[in-house]
Amino acid sequence: MKNYIVTHTFKSKEAKAKMMEVTGSMSMEDMTKAMTSDNAKCQMSWNTPGDNLTMFCWWKGTDPDAINKQLESMNDFYEPHKFVECTDNIIDFNAN
């Protein structure tokens, strides 16, 4: 699978609040299941504070369509997702 950094932009402050409410009520196991399939798997997510309507996720997927399909049930919260494909060559500045 390929690596993608995906920018997710909420449609509104209310959409962000609702999404945070929904995910806040889910167990980590349920969230992992919702974000995982044979063709797409979320690796990490970064939420932004306050009224910032953008969040970022690192996905592994066969292609952007597979990730969009995995996110299908959540798309009412977001504008269309933006994808940037990344290589497997990672520079880990925390490695010792």
Q: Say if residue 24 is exposed, middle or buried (CB neighbours under 10 Å; 0-12, 13-18, 19+).
A: exposed
Asked if residue 53 lies in contact with residue 9, where contact means CB atoms within 8 angstroms, the answer is: yes
Assessment of whether the complete model's pTM goes beyond 0.85: yes
- The partner residues of 56 in beta bridges, in order of sequence, read 7, 46
> pLDDT by residue (tens digit) across 27-72?
999 989 989 999 999 999 999 999 999 999 999 999 999 999 999 9
User: Distance between CA atoms of 87 and 65, rounded to whole angstroms?
Assistant: 18
How many degrees, rounded to 5, is the angle at CA 78 between CA 52 and CA 89?
A: 80
Give the domains, in start order, of the chain with CATH numbers. Answer: 2-37+46-86 (3.30.70)
